[in-house]
Amino acid sequence: AQSVAQPEDQVNVAEGNPLTVKCTYSVSGNPYLFWYVQYPNRGLQFLLKYITGDNLVKGSYGFEAEFNKSQTSFHLKKPSALVSDSALYFCAGPNYGGSQGNLIFGKGTKLSVKP
Amino acid sequence: GAGVSQSPRYKVAKRGQDVALRCDPISGHVSLFWYQQALGQGPEFLTYFQNEAQLDKSGLPSDRFFAERPEGSVSTLKIQRTQQEDSAVYLCASSLGQYNQPQHFGDGTRLSIL
């Protein structure tokens, strides 16, 4: 079965420290993967995507993600966390068993950045 | 430019009532998606439109759920004879149409069934 997993329910980081939010995938073919962020009572905002090419993808607000095919991972990273980065983060990948563009989302990781 | 707009933002209904949720996608976006997000979970796919054609409705949980996009822009998700388990946030997203294009989400409709 195709799936996207986020093994951590919550990540706590001090402001100014690097952050990593983990995602692993289990999808067939060449995956394309997304990271989204969700603030309270808001919809999801697109951060970045991987399709092909460079394994290190740069996105919005200083975030980047590293695609690792051998480890089937697509971890989200930021060199220096801000308090305003505190939010819910979702990794998503394709549901090849479904229609074009149909995405499977992880359950989300709550990022808390303390001053 | 304007993003995806959903209305109402909040809807409270009694069990057994019918509800209609509206989505205005970004102008020019061919693809439109509906997702259901339960509390503490990631969004789950409900249905997908390309223009006015509903190409995938495999995620609709029962025949009480119905979606339409008659003119290829605004979409409505209708839930008939609502049940308590229908309580969730319903998210609409639109994209340019190619499978690997990012989806742009509205702020959702929070539906509470009493």
CB pairs under 8 A between A and B: 73
Q: Where is average pLDDT lowest: A13-17, A77-81, B41-45?
A: B41-45
A46 Cβ under 8 Å from any chain B Cβ: yes
B104, part of any domain: no
The percentage of residues in chain B with a pLDDT greater than 70, rounded to a whole number, is 99
B107, part of any domain: no
User: pLDDT tens digits, residue range B82-96?
Assistant: 999 999 999 999 999
**Residue A81 pLDDT exceeds 80:** yes
Identity at A66, one-letter amino acid code: E
Residues A34-38 have a mean pLDDT of 96
Structural domain of residue A19, as residue ranges? Answer: 3-114
* Cα Rg of chain A (Å, integer): 14
Give contacts of A41 with chain B, Cβ < 8 Å. Answer: 107, 110
Q: What is the pLDDT of residue B48?
A: 92
Q: What is the pLDDT of residue A99?
A: 63
**Residue B1 pLDDT exceeds 70:** no
**A45–B103 C-beta distance less than 8 A:** no
B45, part of any domain: yes
B103, part of any domain: no
B58, part of any domain: yes
What is the CATH number for A18? 2.60.40.10
B43, part of any domain: yes
Total of domains in chain B? 1
Quote the minimal CA–CA distance from A79 to chain B in Å: 24
Interface with B, mutate which of A41, A51, A99 (most B CBs under 10 A): A99
Structural domain of residue B29, as residue ranges? Answer: 5-98
Q: Annotate A81-95 with b (16+ C-beta within 10 A) or e (fewer).
A: beeebbbbbbbbbbb
Structure-token match 């229609």, residue found: A99
8 Å CB contact between A12 and A20: no
What is the CATH number for B42? 2.60.40.10
Using CA of residue B102, residue A93, residue A58, residue A114, what is the dihedral sign? positive
Total of domains in chain A? 1
Taking only residues 11 to 50 of chain B, the set having a beta carbon closer than 8 angstroms to any beta carbon of chain A reads 31, 33, 40-45, 48, 50
B103 Cβ under 8 Å from any chain A Cβ: yes
